[in-house]
Structure 1
Amino acid sequence: GLRKNEAMSLTFNDYDGKRVNIWRQLKRSSHSEFTVLKSPTSKRTVALDKATIELLNEQLDKYKDMPGFSADWFLFGGYKPLSLTSIDRVKKEAIEKSGLPYIRIHDFRHSHASYLIDKGVNMYKISKRLGHSSITITMDRYGHLLDRQEDEILDAIENG
């Protein structure tokens, strides 16, 4: 559920083995400059699932034996952040190989939010995870997905 520029700014200092600390973002036009987050509530700690933790630990194991390694190295890229064009190129190749329709990297953020809603996660918690400045933003963007949960309302009415 991170924005691309938030993910690209993450270093091993920002990773504690279970969560990542989001506190800055890579400037859109830069490979080495950072800027403040979109809003004050974008500063957050995001819990990670087991599969992501395994991948990040593999990254750490790969990098930690390299000469000059430090926890200031980037989770995605090593001593410097992976370029945004590299990310887009790899995504484009994966899409072409899979035969799936084109999607933007940001669409994964929307898919993440939609998945959490479908699984019944509280909207307030989703809003915090995404770093939205208010739950209103989350509701305006994803509230239509709650319409599918009418069975929950009927169950509450019929079963008390």
Structure 2
Amino acid sequence: MSDFLRGWDVTLHSLRHRHASHMLASNIHPKVVQKRLGHSSVAITMDLSHLMPNMQDEAAPAVDGVLRAAINKRADDVG
């Protein structure tokens, strides 16, 4: 390991995981992340990637927005 990485207490392996997690948090399709990492399946990629703190925080509002849009569309179609 290089002195630079040792000084930051970072390993190449942890950088690889962080890179995958950042790509997923940036809404890069999991299949693209899988190919970049050389995993044999997208399931491996998703199992090994760590959730970034904001990913969990963004999930509820995203689902809420989709559900509200569906409810509003149905109300418009009925009304």
Please indicate, yes or no, whether the TM-score normalized by the shorter chain is above 0.5. Answer: yes
- State the Cα distance separating 1:159 from its structure 2 match: 2.1
Q: Flag structure 2 segments of 5+ consecutive residues without an equivalent.
A: 71-79
TM-score of the aligned structures, taking structure 2 as reference length: 0.65
Look up the SS of the partner of 1:145 in the other structure.
coil
Q: Which of 137, 148, 151 is matched with 2:44 structurally?
A: 137
Query: Aligned partners of 1:156 and 1:109: how far apart in 2?
Result: 32
Change (3 A) 1:152 1:105: same
Aligned to 1:159: 69
Query: Aligned partners of 2:48 and 2:37: how far apart in 1?
Result: 12
Query: Aligned partners of 2:4 and 2:34: how far apart in 1?
Result: 32
TM-score of the aligned structures, taking structure 1 as reference length: 0.36
Change (3 A) 1:120 1:93: closer
Change (3 A) 1:94 1:110: closer
Kindly report the root-mean-square deviation, in angstroms, between the aligned alpha carbons of the 2 structures: 2.2
Q: Flag structure 1 segments of 5+ consecutive residues without an equivalent.
A: 1-87
Aligned to 1:57: none
Query: Aligned partners of 2:4 and 2:32: how far apart in 1?
Result: 34
Identity of aligned residues (%): 29
Query: Aligned partners of 1:137 and 1:125: how far apart in 2?
Result: 13
Contact 2:5 2:11 in 1 (8 A): no
Change (3 A) 1:145 1:92: same
Query: Aligned partners of 2:65 and 2:18: how far apart in 1?
Result: 27
Q: Which amino acid in 2 is paired with 1:159?
A: A
More helix by share: 2
- State the Cα distance separating 1:127 from its structure 2 match: 0.9
